[in-house]
Chain A
Amino acid sequence: MNRLWRSRKVLWFAALLAFALVAAACGDSDDGGDTTAAPTTAAAEETTTAAPETTEAPPETTTTADPGKQYGGEVVVADDQEPPTLNWAVPGGDNAIVNRVGQAYWAGVQEIDGFTLELIPELVTELPTVDNGGVTVNDDGTMTVNYQIRDEAMWSDGTTISGDDFEFTYNIIMDPDLATNKAIYEDITSTEFGPKTFTYTLAQPTVQYDLIFGTIIPKHAVEGTDFETDWNETMWPSAGPFVFDSWQKGEFIKLVRNDNYWKTDAETGQQLPFLDSVVIRFIPETESIINAFKAREVDVVQPPPSTELIEALQAVEPEGAIVEVLSGPVWEHLNFQFGPGRLEKNPNSTNENLNYRKGVAHTINKDLIVDEILAGQVEPLTSFLEPGNPQISTGAWSQYDYNVETAKEYFEAAKAELGVDTLYTVFSTTSNNDARVKLSELFVNMFGDVGVEYENQLEDSQLFFGETLDNGLWDFGEWAWLGTPGFSGGISLFDLFDPELPPPDGQNVYRWGSPDSIVIDEHTARFAEIRDELNASVDAEILIPLMQEGEQIMADQVVIIPLYARLVVAAVWADEVGGYKHNPSQASDLWNMEEWYRVDL
């Protein structure tokens, strides 16, 4: 009896142990399912350090201005999203997080300066403009753009970056079998790629060229591979400060120092980067991002912003963290539907009446909205150029202050013109965004104060951004656009309201001045002209006044009402990481990760 009992115990323990081992080991199965390591590239270990290029680098003002920058160490960055693929040129590659991680190993013609938010040259010596002779408008109406590639620019495997790589990238983008974004590239009529130069000609003058060749693919490493399938889980040789090391799917991507990085530190002349490795950890839950930051498991976080979150992060500032709250590139706006779809939501819609629209503009208390939704961290928007091109913006919407009396006067005028007794507004936006739900609640009082019959009809975002936007099925709406820096970014905004480009061909979902619009007048005609002129010029002297005029028309006609730019929050343990500078653009705070260094080494 005793022996039996003992042997049974042994058996159970054996079974439990086996079970525990399998449980511990099965995640590590070496079938390549979880781990993806970089392909071992041909070892070209000559470190040909380039001459310092001090003139190009931005001035060094960092979170902690400690001159003693040590090499080595690791920084862990948290993100709530995980890249579906690492390859930017396949479906899924357009996700913001793919680009964020890409800051480590991608390079192209230009990058965004995190301090000025302007485009600066990256792999080329300077960005071509008409002034510096890089851009030529030809007599036949075409435009030629010339680039000079930096001599020192090289891939992490030691291969020099040459015109071949730009040509290869161009061919990939234009491959008809690939679902790549071919805009602008398809307007290229001829190309010429030299060893350290490349030139292309566009069919008509446009500033949109400043958006292309943003990420270059190395020909020597990618040629001959299956581009669509081979580069989803690993990365080609790096042109940035770090090299892709491994990707634990669902957990983190590890990046290690690129010993062949061509950039040097502007102050000290030290070769960049300082860090040995950077780990980007994917944590879906915001709450957990904050907890991991507090526990110092991650050093840098850029979580989705909310008031509670900002407060939670600021609470650890005394312990050595720095929290930066900025206006981001994503801007929210109110808008009116001018197509027939408005009647679906509101049969009594009076969107066509300018006095009604002006009345609405005076009804909205933007300060209250910013206070309630963003805890008053930023100022409300008075311009739609502001988020991407602050230097151009004129604040055209500042003419509409929050004033119940003015609003009522406009509404009375509107009623008189329309011959109605009551004005009706039906508001639609997405129901699964807390800030927008709060906004809709604030509106109830604001419209109540001015005596407009107001109703909320919120929808699930899938419906709202699908059928509703496509078919213009709203009366008074609200959502956000992403602002892009540079003239091209500013000009692309004009496409959104181009009377000549309603869906399905274009993006004018507002149907302002489109053929089925209820508002077609001299303003819509002029706006269409401006849009065309903007797309036919590359001269800043012409472009800036045109954009400002266009914005003024939008404001005077109250086509939309810009509300506020969403916050972007970032926090860093400044007692651990130096050289960090938060950046509200799409490049994210990783834009200068080559200059990060460990303070505590």
Chain B
Amino acid sequence: MFAYIIRRLVYGVVTLFALSLVVFLLIQFSGGSPLDRLKLNPRMQPVIAQLTELWGLDKPWYEQYFIWLRNFVTPVDVPAQEGLIVVLGKLGIRSWVAIAAAVAAVGYTVALFFVKVKANWWRTFRAFSIILTWLIAFWIIKSRIVFALNWGISFRGDGPVWDNIFGAAGNTFRLGATALLLALIVGIPLGIYQAIKQYSFFDQLGTMLSFITFSTPIFIIGVMLQLILALYMERWTGVKLFYVVGMTSSGYEELGRGLFGLPSLAQLGDVIQHLTLPAISIAAISMAGYSRFQRASMLEVMHSDYLRTAKAKGLPRRTVVVKHALRNALIPIVTLVSLDVAFIIGGAIITESIFGWPGVGRLYIGAIQSIDYPTIMAVVMAIGAGVVVMNIVADILYGVLDPRVRYD
């Protein structure tokens, strides 16, 4: 298993390398220069010359590429006093939290792999909990330790790309994770229910709605949600339920913090009022997809021989469905969901623009408009890395859920 993961990671790195080269070439040869904007001002000639040299735009493309590549994997020098060790002694809690998170995540993972538990639900829970633990640990570590790679300075003038991406990634994660959760919580039970009640009115209705949603562009879904759930809803009811744009109100900080610096209830409410519509518009298509897929997968399982065996054994229908059908019917969707991460990020790029959400998608669109290739490259690579990792996660999860799958 470990050898398999390592091998997949190596392939992943090679894929990312190829991806970087292709994207870099595309940017290079698609015409235009980040300095074009300045060229129409007659007085900018000296500035253009200066920036051309500073950004190395006069060098041949391969040289630019290798400079970029070298920098991309080089950590930025962190001043000594901000370094980990000194900070540990000086500040205590912040860094200790990071260390504790890392140790806990490693410890939990190792412990789970060595503890032999037979219960089946535990195997499932274990897989999800490891991923969850690492996500949480990563975010804690990221917010507590000063570490950055030299991803360059944005050509738009908005500073170090690393900081921009990680500043925005949290917001995209908030949106994407909510959307994914929403799509799973609604889509999968919907599909299961449809399969159990095959050909019922509810099933037909669900199928029709799924197809409508699936074939609606995400932009239209977003704008419709703004109009119906934010604009008209407020006009009809006089209550502001959801916001058309933004991630927080401008008075967010004044709403007061809760315990331990966590958001207060009022702040959580504000977040939900802003988060709901963009999350739904990303989730809608996935939701429709999941429900269709889950329905098909469930139907297949419902007609399988082993389900007949389960019934013939005298198991109650509930146990038959929940224990024997569901577990099998969920296996194929794991892959779908893992690969859907790329789709969700794609949806986020459009949705973030519509809802004024300060995430990676907006960063990316802004970067493309100004041919800011350090940012374009970094976003593409970050998403690429995410997809590679999610692919591996999908494989691992698949192995955990389906005992027939073994990796050597």
Judge A-B direct contact (beta carbons within 8 Å): yes
User: Are B174 and A27 in contact (CB-based, < 8 A)?
Assistant: yes
Chain A residues near B44 (CB-CB < 8 A) = 181
A418 at the interface (CB under 8 A from B): no
One of A18, A297, A298, A492 near B132 (C-beta < 8 A): A18
User: Are B170 and A27 in contact (CB-based, < 8 A)?
Assistant: yes
Bound Cα distance A462, B37 (Å): 9
Give the interface segment out of B225-233, B290-298, B338-346: B225-233
A30 at the interface (CB under 8 A from B): yes
User: Are A284 and B246 in contact (CB-based, < 8 A)?
Assistant: no
Q: How would residues 146 to 173 of chain B score, 1 for a CB under 8 Å from any chain A CB and 0 otherwise?
A: 0000000011111100011011101101
B243 at the interface (CB under 8 A from A): yes
Give the interface segment out of B56-64, B135-143, B398-406: B135-143
One of B31, B43, B135, B142 near A181 (C-beta < 8 A): B43
Chain B residues near A504 (CB-CB < 8 A) = 45
B24 at the interface (CB under 8 A from A): no
A146 at the interface (CB under 8 A from B): no
Query: What would be 14 A-B contacts, judged by CB atoms less than 8 Å apart?
Result: A15-B128, A27-B174, A30-B261, A31-B144, A92-B157, A95-B157, A179-B54, A181-B44, A282-B356, A288-B245, A288-B356, A465-B39, A466-B39, A505-B45
Shortest beta-carbon distance, A100 to chain B, in Å? Answer: 15
Given contacts A24-B263, A495-B42, contact A29 B139 (CB under 8 A): yes
B320 at the interface (CB under 8 A from A): no
B186 at the interface (CB under 8 A from A): no
Q: How would residues 2 to 45 of chain A score, 1 for a CB under 8 Å from any chain B CB and 0 otherwise?
A: 00100010011001101111111111111101100000000000
Bound Cα distance A246, B234 (Å): 29
Given contacts A30-B261, A91-B51, A492-B42, contact A287 B155 (CB under 8 A): no
List the A residue with the shortest CB-CB distance to B31.
A463
Bound Cα distance A20, B135 (Å): 12
Given contacts A179-B47, A233-B159, contact A25 B357 (CB under 8 A): no
Shortest beta-carbon distance, B160 to chain A, in Å? Answer: 9
One of A24, A233, A287 near B223 (C-beta < 8 A): A287
Chain A residues near B245 (CB-CB < 8 A) = 281, 283, 288, 291-292, 297-298
User: Are B234 and A295 in contact (CB-based, < 8 A)?
Assistant: yes
B30 at the interface (CB under 8 A from A): yes
User: Are B247 and A84 in contact (CB-based, < 8 A)?
Assistant: no
Give the interface segment out of B6-14, B210-218, B359-367: B359-367
Bound Cα distance A318, B170 (Å): 41
B32 at the interface (CB under 8 A from A): yes
List the A residue with the shortest CB-CB distance to B143.
A29
One of A16, A84, A292, A462 near B154 (C-beta < 8 A): A84
Chain B residues near A492 (CB-CB < 8 A) = 42
User: Are A25 and B30 in contact (CB-based, < 8 A)?
Assistant: no
B209 at the interface (CB under 8 A from A): no
Q: How would residues 184 to 208 of chain B score, 1 for a CB under 8 Å from any chain A CB and 0 otherwise?
A: 0000000000000000000000000
Given contacts A24-B174, A251-B358, A295-B231, contact A232 B366 (CB under 8 A): no
Given contacts A19-B181, A33-B167, A295-B234, contact A462 B158 (CB under 8 A): no
Would you list the 4 A-B pairs with minimal beta carbon distance, nearest first?
A92-B157, A250-B358, A462-B32, A183-B43
Chain A residues near B43 (CB-CB < 8 A) = 181, 183
Chain A residues near B268 (CB-CB < 8 A) = 24
User: Are A250 and B362 in contact (CB-based, < 8 A)?
Assistant: yes
One of A24, A30, A233 near B143 (C-beta < 8 A): A30
Q: How would residues 243 to 256 of chain B score, 1 for a CB under 8 Å from any chain A CB and 0 otherwise?
A: 11111101001000
Chain B residues near A282 (CB-CB < 8 A) = 356
One of A25, A84, A506 near B156 (C-beta < 8 A): A84
Bound Cα distance A232, B157 (Å): 8
One of B181, B231, B353 near A285 (C-beta < 8 A): B353
User: Are B158 and A21 in contact (CB-based, < 8 A)?
Assistant: no
Bound Cα distance A180, B43 (Å): 10
User: Are A27 and B171 in contact (CB-based, < 8 A)?
Assistant: yes
User: Are A283 and B356 in contact (CB-based, < 8 A)?
Assistant: yes
User: Are A232 and B248 in contact (CB-based, < 8 A)?
Assistant: no
One of B50, B167, B174 near A179 (C-beta < 8 A): B50
Q: How many residues of B contact A (CB 8 A)?
A: 79
Given contacts A24-B263, A250-B363, A288-B223, contact A466 B177 (CB under 8 A): no
- Given A251-B247, A281-B246, A469-B39: 16 more A-B contacts, CB < 8 Å: A24-B268, A26-B143, A28-B263, A74-B250, A92-B158, A250-B247, A250-B359, A252-B250, A288-B226, A291-B223, A295-B244, A297-B243, A462-B32, A463-B32, A466-B31, A469-B40
B262 at the interface (CB under 8 A from A): yes
A111 at the interface (CB under 8 A from B): no
One of B38, B136, B356 near A94 (C-beta < 8 A): B38
Chain A residues near B154 (CB-CB < 8 A) = 84, 92
B89 at the interface (CB under 8 A from A): no
Shortest beta-carbon distance, A4 to chain B, in Å? Answer: 8
One of B41, B46, B248 near A248 (C-beta < 8 A): B248
Shortest beta-carbon distance, A37 to chain B, in Å? Answer: 10
Given contacts A34-B170, A182-B46, A292-B244, contact A285 B157 (CB under 8 A): no
Contacts from A to B (Cβ < 8 Å): 4, 8, 11-12, 15-16, 18-31, 33-34, 74, 76, 82, 84-85, 90-95, 179-183, 229, 232-233, 246, 248-252, 254, 277, 279, 281-285, 287-288, 291-292, 294-295, 297-298, 460, 462-463, 465-467, 469-470, 481, 492, 495-496, 504-507
Bound Cα distance A465, B129 (Å): 53
Bound Cα distance A20, B33 (Å): 42
One of A23, A28, A33, A95 near B173 (C-beta < 8 A): A23
Chain A residues near B142 (CB-CB < 8 A) = 29, 31
Given contacts A30-B261, A291-B231, A495-B42, contact A22 B31 (CB under 8 A): no
Bound Cα distance A291, B135 (Å): 35
User: Are B31 and A460 in contact (CB-based, < 8 A)?
Assistant: yes
Bound Cα distance A27, B54 (Å): 33
User: Which chain B residues numbered 328 to 361 have a C-beta less than 8 Å away from chain A?
Assistant: 353-359
List the A residue with the shortest CB-CB distance to B159.
A232
Shortest beta-carbon distance, B242 to chain A, in Å? Answer: 9
Shortest beta-carbon distance, B337 to chain A, in Å? Answer: 15
Bound Cα distance A144, B61 (Å): 48
Chain A residues near B246 (CB-CB < 8 A) = 251-252, 281, 297
B125 at the interface (CB under 8 A from A): yes
Bound Cα distance A31, B139 (Å): 11
Chain A residues near B77 (CB-CB < 8 A) = none
User: Are A19 and B177 in contact (CB-based, < 8 A)?
Assistant: yes
Shortest beta-carbon distance, A247 to chain B, in Å? Answer: 10
Bound Cα distance A16, B177 (Å): 11
User: Are A249 and B39 in contact (CB-based, < 8 A)?
Assistant: no
Bound Cα distance A495, B45 (Å): 14
One of B42, B135, B226, B248 near A507 (C-beta < 8 A): B42
Bound Cα distance A16, B184 (Å): 12
Bound Cα distance A250, B349 (Å): 13
Chain B residues near A254 (CB-CB < 8 A) = 250
Chain A residues near B357 (CB-CB < 8 A) = 250
Bound Cα distance A50, B30 (Å): 57
List the B residue with the shortest CB-CB distance to A298.
B245
List the B residue with the shortest CB-CB distance to A277.
B250
Chain B residues near A281 (CB-CB < 8 A) = 245-246, 250, 356
User: Which chain B residues numbered 360 to 406 have a C-beta less than 8 Å away from chain A?
Assistant: 362-363, 365-366, 371
B36 at the interface (CB under 8 A from A): yes
Chain A residues near B33 (CB-CB < 8 A) = 466
User: Are A284 and B365 in contact (CB-based, < 8 A)?
Assistant: yes
Chain A residues near B230 (CB-CB < 8 A) = 291, 295
Chain A residues near B50 (CB-CB < 8 A) = 179
List the A residue with the shortest CB-CB distance to B362.
A250
B271 at the interface (CB under 8 A from A): yes
Shortest beta-carbon distance, B368 to chain A, in Å? Answer: 10
User: Are A250 and B136 in contact (CB-based, < 8 A)?
Assistant: no
Chain B residues near A29 (CB-CB < 8 A) = 139, 142-143, 170
List the B residue with the shortest CB-CB distance to A82.
B366
Bound Cα distance A279, B249 (Å): 10
Q: Give the interface centre of B132, B155, B355, B356 by most chain A CB atoms within 10 Å.
A: B356
